[in-house]
Chain A
Amino acid sequence: EAQVTQNPRYLITVTGKKLTVTCSQNMNHEYMSWYRQDPGLGLRQIYYSMNVEVTDKGDVPEGYKVSRKEKRNFPLILESPSPNQTSLYFCASSNWWADNEQFFGPGTRLTVL
């Protein structure tokens, strides 16, 4: 089954404790991206990647890192999480370009205390 998976689905952590949210897709997609969703603000793109070793900033990259060492994986790293990073996070992928149909993961609900 074609899908985007994210782990963990739920995470409660404390300020400053490094964490990684994994994202993996099995559709051989080139384009992958991360979004955060906050009430009243819609979805905002954090980082995107056009292909292996090619990443670029979205609208809200501060406090986040990403890497794209393999085509299928695009982890989101919070080196020193803060409470303002409490949010619902989504990973998505698409064939080649951002303006193709995006396939979304199920989401990761992160709480930073």
Chain B
Amino acid sequence: SQQGEEDPQALSIQEGENATMNCSYKTSINNLQWYRQNSGRGLVHLILIRSNEREKHSGRLRVTLDTSKKSSSLLITASRAADTASYFCARIQGAQKLVFGQGTRLTINP
């Protein structure tokens, strides 16, 4: 598949716990992006990490990038019910074609 691989496909945790999801890809990148999608709605941009960055933070979100392993991870700390959503990574393939992973469906249980 030309799409990235994300794992796990689904993740269910208790409120307050941390959630980690991973994204792997096959070709070299300039940057990698993470998006959130609430059920059936449009995607919302979370973080963009460049290939020369190893880690980036935004509030309770922490993204890491390991270009040698061609992988990235998104960590959500102190999860809340409102974090229940699907999370996708995305990167460029070819000229300007943007490809998304299949996503991780995160459920936060109260």
* Interface positions of A (Cβ within 8 A of B): 4, 31, 33, 35, 40-45, 48, 50, 56, 58-59, 88, 90, 92, 97-107, 109
Contact = CB atoms under 8 A, between A and B. Distances in A.
B96 A98 contact: yes
B97 A98 contact: yes
A90 B37 CA distance: 12
A99 B92 contact: yes
Chain B interface residue number, banded? 20 to 34
Contact of A102 (B3, B41, B43, B102): B43
A31 B98 CA distance: 11
Contacts of A50: 96
Contacts of A105: 42
A33 B2 CA distance: 18
A59 B2 contact: yes
B95 A56 contact: yes
B88 to A, nearest CB: 7
Interface in B57-108: 88, 90-92, 95-103
Nearest to A6: B42
A106 B97 CA distance: 21
Contacts of A99: 30-31, 33, 48, 91-92, 98
